[in-house]
Structure 1
Amino acid sequence: MRGLLHLAAALDQPGVFDGGAFTGPARLAERGGLDFVTLDDSFGRPGPDALAVLCRVAPATRRIGLVPTVTTTHTDPFRVQAAVATLDWVSRGRAGWRIDVSATEDEARLFGRRPAASADALWREAGETADAAARLWDSWEDGAEIRDVATGRFLDGDRVHRVDYTGSAFSVRGPSTMPRPPQGHPIRVVDATDGDARTVAARHADVALVRAASPAQAADLRDRLREQAAAFGRDPDALRVLVSLLVDLGDGEYAAEPGWGAPLFERGRALGGGGGPRPTARGPLYRGGPVDLAELVTAWHAEGVTDGFHFVPVEPRRDLERLVNGTVALLQHRGLFRTFYPGSTLREHLGLARPANRYAASRATAAARGAS
């Protein structure tokens, strides 16, 4: 029997600058039990800072994961990791970080420090930033804070570590300026459809998003990611791969247009007939009703080609409401998606263990050798 689906949704509202406007949709997604919501961001378009907005959303929600896009280009890795760790503390362990790069010359000119680089170089730097962030999150071991008023000791110096990390474009000494985040490492999310980003996802991501228009394409991308993760020494079962779909639910309960929504199914098996999402410049687009979307999700899940779905509403408020009240409710009724949160952190929603602290493990190993 296959495990339950993992479901997520985007909160993007182009042209909206009021941070409070994102609270209602986040609560709606939480009412549906979604694992997490994402909020996109870039230097190339106007809009509020995604991480700051979700820091505002955090106190207004209780369980749902909060995943802003934070670019690794033109930014200080030390500040990036501290900002993401702050969101994890503010949300009590519900933070994620969607890793992205800034590839255009227009974005580079905003900073004026260097010209735009190749995708290969940018994603190599992104991988190094993800690695440095994990080391900085580990730089305070659990229990490093003593807070002993009688002795005046605030920290156990043996449990706080310099990271001394050197990448191709930066170096970080450390340690971090704050204790280890509640999740140990906030969840790292990467859109892994393209080759350069796929390597970073296989090596560093907890969740990989893939833009696939067919079950075969989704299965191929998932298999390649899992193989790469294993080649990097990771357990491929610790990587969640979600299909990212644009969804236009403007047709309400009516059947999807031929060639747009779900194909005909029999016992979870696709019978063909030209159904399924259509490729667009923004990625695969499903257009139809929430019931047909539930049929598509059910069929892809039955084929075992994905761990779940990340939905990007075309019309934010309308489509998210129909997604939660229609598609998600139907999947819950079929026993394919949970009806309550089993834990309080995003790692628990995704079924991922809290990572061990690398410095604590090294210290324990050294102590064991010294005692032998």
Structure 2
Amino acid sequence: MGSSYGRGRLHLAAAIDQRVEGDAEVCVELARLAERGALDFVTVGDAFARPGPDTLAVSARVAPETGRVGLVPVVTATPDEPCRVRAAVATLDRVSRGRAGWWLGTPGPEDGAVPVRARHVGPVGAGDAEGAWLPAQRASAVTRPQQGHPVRVVDATEGESRGAAARCADVALLRVADPDHADAVRTELRDGAAGAGRDPDELRVLVSLRVDLGGGEYAAEPGHGGGGPRRTADGPLYRGGPVALAELIADWHRAGATDGFHLVPVEPRRDLERLVNGTVALLQHRGLFRTFYPGSTLREHLGLGPAQRNVVTGGGV
């Protein structure tokens, strides 16, 4: 293991969707906690989709209650509504003063959606939206977001999504359980970005890992804790304590296997508090993670340059 691309600063993000309560106020509380730990961004999943407020509405509620942490809702655009969704994400970027991202959800058959692939990146006018995987013939102009375009996040775990991630994603997420696998896919994605004419240093690759910190350091089972995450039907799972999790994060990043981690608490309120006050605090104490935000936008948190005026068009696959 050991990517030829090396490593930069460590990036950390967390999921804050509260699956049980479905309460936007809980997300406000969790986002503030994540911001206290100087995490790059938080994601809001589809736990609110049916019933209750959607991910964009929850993120808009969180925006005025926070000042630095990035906000990344999971948003699936079907062929009937790409312009509305794109405009809503641009609005979130404006109201959050440049802290918005967009996790490009995969539409399912129940949504009546046709899969769309990224196939072209080219210059467009400033009045055009900067969406991704949206049919060009359905595009319409919206007010330009503060960041140029909100940060685009793609789950690149499956092979068929990696080409699109390499071409258009700012952040690629990988649900993998060992550092060698993470290193290989990170190299594949960066090579793909370079092959598409992009600077591979403008792509961040984060390992998405479910974490259960309820039992503490002595609760780790074989395959957890010091033994690394365990593969489960819901993705790789770490079960153990905050200290061993900090060691895992530091080891994988030091080896160049990943640019950081997207951590998904099994119990959001319990685990995020232990993550921020335990794992993140330890990484900060060791000088491995920042203690404050040097910038104000999500692109700045991620160390990405200004967004280029690119539009990604798609077609059915």
| TM-score normalised by structure 2 residue count | 0.89
- The secondary structure found in structure 2 opposite 1:254 is helix
The structure with the larger Rg is 1
Q: Aligned partners of 1:217, 1:162: CA distance in 2, in Å?
A: 35
The corresponding residue for 2:164 is 200
Q: Aligned partners of 2:259, 2:146: CA distance in 1, in Å?
A: 25
Of residues 261, 269, 272 in structure 2, which corresponds to 1:317? 269
Per-residue deviation, residues 45-100 of structure 1 (Å, max 9, x unmatched) = 54420011010100000000000011023442211211110000010000000001
1:67 correspondence with 2:19: no
Alpha-carbon contact 2:22-2:47 (below 8 Å) kept: no
Deviation at 1:298, TM superposition (A): 1.1
How many matched pairs? 305
- The secondary structure found in structure 2 opposite 1:85 is helix
Deviation at 1:18, TM superposition (A): 2.4
Aligned pairs (5 A) from 1:136-155: 139-140=126-127
The corresponding residue for 2:16 is 11
The corresponding residue for 1:345 is 297
Taking a change above 3 Å as real, the CA distance of residues 18 and 63 of structure 1, as seen in their structure-2 partners, is: same
Alpha-carbon contact 2:34-2:272 (below 8 Å) kept: yes
Deviation at 1:174, TM superposition (A): 3.0
Taking a change above 3 Å as real, the CA distance of residues 171 and 248 of structure 1, as seen in their structure-2 partners, is: same
- The structure showing larger relative contact order (alpha-carbon pairs under 8 Å, at least 6 residues apart) is 2
The corresponding residue for 2:141 is 175
Q: Aligned partners of 1:131, 1:20: CA distance in 2, in Å?
A: 38
Q: Aligned partners of 1:245, 1:9: CA distance in 2, in Å?
A: 9
- The secondary structure found in structure 1 opposite 2:225 is coil
- The secondary structure found in structure 2 opposite 1:337 is coil
Taking a change above 3 Å as real, the CA distance of residues 236 and 168 of structure 1, as seen in their structure-2 partners, is: closer
Q: Aligned partners of 2:297, 2:88: CA distance in 1, in Å?
A: 18
Deviation at 1:251, TM superposition (A): 1.3
Alpha-carbon contact 1:254-1:289 (below 8 Å) kept: yes
Q: Aligned partners of 2:284, 2:17: CA distance in 1, in Å?
A: 25
Q: Aligned partners of 2:233, 2:141: CA distance in 1, in Å?
A: 42
The corresponding residue for 1:146 is none
Per-residue deviation, residues 217-274 of structure 1 (Å, max 9, x unmatched) = 1001101111111111111111000000000001124362222112xxxxxxxxxxxx
* Runs of 4 or more consecutive aligned structure 1 residues displaced over 3 Å after TM superposition: 42-47, 167-170, 356-359
Deviation at 1:162, TM superposition (A): 9.9
Taking a change above 3 Å as real, the CA distance of residues 315 and 173 of structure 1, as seen in their structure-2 partners, is: closer
Question: What amino acid sits opposite 2:137 in the alignment?
Answer: S
The corresponding residue for 1:266 is none
Question: What amino acid sits opposite 1:345 in the alignment?
Answer: T
Question: What amino acid sits opposite 1:23 in the alignment?
Answer: V
What root-mean-square deviation, in Å, do the aligned CA atoms of Structure 1 and Structure 2 show? 2.6
Question: What amino acid sits opposite 1:211 in the alignment?
Answer: R
1:48 correspondence with 2:53: yes
Taking a change above 3 Å as real, the CA distance of residues 174 and 21 of structure 1, as seen in their structure-2 partners, is: same
Aligned pairs (5 A) from 1:76-95: 76-95=81-100
Taking a change above 3 Å as real, the CA distance of residues 213 and 139 of structure 1, as seen in their structure-2 partners, is: same
Taking a change above 3 Å as real, the CA distance of residues 44 and 60 of structure 1, as seen in their structure-2 partners, is: closer
Taking a change above 3 Å as real, the CA distance of residues 242 and 317 of structure 1, as seen in their structure-2 partners, is: same
1:289 correspondence with 2:276: no
Aligned pairs (5 A) from 1:116-155: 122-124=115-117, 127=118, 139-140=126-127
- The secondary structure found in structure 2 opposite 1:188 is strand
The corresponding residue for 1:26 is 31
Q: Aligned partners of 1:173, 1:21: CA distance in 2, in Å?
A: 35
Structure 2 residues not aligned, in runs of 5+? 1-5, 312-317
Question: What amino acid sits opposite 2:100 in the alignment?
Answer: A
1:220 correspondence with 2:191: no
